[in-house]
Amino acid sequence: MDTVTSADSPSEGPLSGRALCRLDEIPDGGATAVDAMLADGEESVILLRHGEQVQAYLNICPHTARRLDYAPGKFLLKNNTLICAVHGATFNQTDGLCVAGPCRGEHLRMVPIRVETDGTIHLAPGA
Ligand code: FES
């Protein structure tokens, strides 16, 4: 795996240039979780794939700050929503807005990422 050091990219954190995973490791219409080194430290990040597009959110539910997956990297997905496995809060996959459940109106925290032409997914600057 290629890495980018902070000297190569001074505005990013030391691990921000490392690929989180490859696009083809996520089933189209599916999701996975990866650990990523963000500005605040290492966090679990949800990656949701729709074709060539990927949305990324912290794997932290705004209801009680628990992970949303029912097993590591396994998520409840239905009709373009992501459902927290703990108490059932339902989030739009496209913008992270909670549309039903105990934290309705709150958002998952988006994580800036980019998909490279070689199919690797990286944190974007500011992550
Ligand atoms: S922790 Fe997610 S709905 Fe309660």
How many angstroms separate the alpha carbon of residue 105 from the centre of ligand 1?
A: 13
Structural domain contains residue 17: no
Residue 46 lies in a domain: yes
Atom of ligand 1 minimally distant from the CA of 61: 2
Q: Does residue 62 fall inside a structural domain?
A: yes
Full domain range(s) for residue 58: 26-34+41-109
CB 114 within 8 A of CB 126: no
Kindly report, residue by residue over 14-49, the tens digit of the pLDDT. 344 579 999 999 999 999 999 999 998 999 999 999
Tokens representing 37 are 């080194």
* Digit-coded pLDDT (tens) for 73-96: 999 999 999 999 999 999 999 999
User: How many structural domains comprise the chain?
Assistant: 1
Q: What share of the chain is helix, strand, coil (3-state, %, to 5)?
A: 0, 40, 55
Does 99 reside within a domain? yes
Q: Given ligand 1 and candidates 57, 64, 67, 83, which is best to mutate, with the most ligand atoms within 8 Å of its CB?
A: 64
88 within domain boundaries: yes
Q: What is the model's pTM?
A: 0.86
Kindly report the CATH number assigned to the domain that includes residue 85: 2.102.10.10
